[in-house]
Structure 1
């Protein structure tokens, strides 16, 4: 009988050890689950931030479109100014030649 009691005590001791191991594993699992919850919370926060940023895309596209229109209008204006300046250069060249011709004619008259 003592032997049976001793065997039962040994089995109980083994069971307690196994229970302790299981509790430790459960504790580790709880810790991992807590870490996962924290990571999920961070991911949700990042997703919310991305959604907010995504809402701005149409506004950014509109702003880019408006800037492109202004650039095109400015380019057209610059091209017109350059064309006018080329015309003025020709006119100035003709006027300078006339002035030189007139000065030469005046020198001959004197």
Structure 2
């Protein structure tokens, strides 16, 4: 009887262990699935880290270019200021030259009148000399 009882207990235990084994197997499958998902997430995080690193490098390049553009812009502003100052100097020189040209034209006109007057007097004096002779 002891043998039968032992046999019976073994059978009962086996039958009771079947659902537990199935559940352990299911848990193992779930753990395996979770491990696979964690591995996928790690790969995605690694990929994101690479992309972030690339973006940081590109941002640094953009910052360097922006600094260079800002420096060039400052130089251009200084050049523009110098050009405006030089333009004012040129404008003054042109106005002064224009005034001188007007004075010269006036002097030339006076000289033409004097030459015409002297020419007329010379012709008149020549005529008087011819009459005297």
TM-score under structure 2 normalisation? 0.66
1:30 to 50, 53, 67: 53
Which has the larger displacement, 81-90 or 24-33? 24-33
Aligned CA RMSD, in angstroms, stands at 2.5
| Ranges in structure 2 where 5+ consecutive residues have no aligned partner | 1-23
Give the superposition deviation at 1:17. 1.0
- 2:34 aligned partner: 11
* C-alpha separation in 2, matches of 1:23 and 1:36: 20
Give the superposition deviation at 1:61. 4.0
TM-score under structure 1 normalisation? 0.76
- 2:108 aligned partner: 85
Query: Which one has a bigger Cα radius of gyration?
Result: 2
Aligned length: 110
| Ranges in structure 1 where 5+ consecutive residues have no aligned partner | none
- 1:74 aligned partner: 97
Alignment of 1:38-57 (within 5 A): 38-56=61-79
